[in-house]
Amino acid sequence: MAKYSNIIGDDDYLVSEVPDVPLWNETLAVMFADPKTSVSALFYLGRWWGKPTTLRQMLAFLLPGDRALYIKNYGPPQQGKVPSAAGLTMEPLGDGRIHLTFDGPMELRKQSDVARYGMGTGPTVRAEVDMIFSSTMPIWDLHATDPHEEEKDLMFPGGHMEQLGKVTGTLKFDGEVVQIDQAPTVRDHSRGVRNWSTHHSHVWINGQFPSGWGFCCFRGSIVGQPGYAMNSAALFKDGKIIGATVETEGLTHPGSDIWKPFDLILKPEGQSSIKIHVANMWNCYQLGMYEPADIYFGIPTSSADSDIATWSLEQSGEFHCDGEIGFGWVERSNRDIGVDDHWRSMCTAEKISR
């Protein structure tokens, strides 16, 4: 594995001892985009920069009918090395499976309101989550396929793995039951220094297709430096990983229309380029990325603008490639693009719906 990686094999647990290194972090995330129900979700546990023995818990479900369930909390690990805090548990079961559970209050909002105005205040409902992530795909060490050796620590934690898979299970809330069946999913686990002050922009896209292949890509830039600090991609076919790079320019600049389709061109090692058309996007939430290393749901408020490094736009994606239609996740950020009234006006219930 690459010299920068400190996550070995299927290590899906929290570290036993947190290194005494400023801004050292560890995060675990699971995201799915379900084309059957049009539901999108984020499960997230990460160490809080101010006291890394405390975990930041974030959970979100974006639902049809312009609805969203959100919760963010902090707390110590609940089950030793098992990733768990504030009611959210991501328990490794072995054989590529992760048990995702939650039982507690979540805030029920209009998705378009959160996108335009932030979370605000409002009612809570009890939400019960019982889902299983499973995968037969190989685990990708993001750093192992990237040539930018000296700049990695400025852009991304020193160890980062990703894996494509599927999620199946139930979400119960407010008298409603949502059944998720084999939703295309990505999970990741990172360890290392994370400092948003160097972050300028990035694009992170992943997807899966019915014939069984998938892709992940990450490309990003740092403040004050031309070009890309990272340009890593991978194709997953027949149980193998094929390293690649991103060729498309301008992906971190959604500009005046965040829903506009675009082409993602990947160049696998020793092969011809592959064009993946991002034909449709639905659901939308934002993560405010604050210096030195914290994140929040929703857009930044005016009082916090001076502390924000950037915001990350999160959308579910429909991908077309060689006659197949696949689904996955589209994430973009750019420090140079502010969240203004025009941007907010694009996050209407009509635009968000699939």
Q: How far is CA 74 from CA 87, 193, 273, 322, in A?
A: 10, 20, 44, 44
Question: Which residues are paired to 237 by β-bridges?
Answer: 240
pLDDT in tens, the chain (354 residues): 233 334 444 479 999 899 998 888 899 999 999 999 999 999 999 999 889 999 999 999 999 999 999 999 999 999 999 999 999 999 999 888 999 999 999 999 998 888 777 777 778 999 999 999 999 999 998 766 554 444 445 556 667 899 999 999 999 999 999 999 999 999 999 988 888 888 888 999 999 999 999 999 999 888 888 888 889 999 999 999 999 999 998 776 665 678 899 999 999 999 999 999 999 999 988 888 887 888 888 765 554 455 666 778 899 999 999 999 999 999 998 887 765 566 666 777 888 887
**CA gap 2, 145 in Å, rounded:** 8
Half-sphere exposure of 64 (CA within 13 A, CB side): 8
DSSP H helix total and E strand total for the chain: 4, 20
pTM above 0.85, yes or no: yes
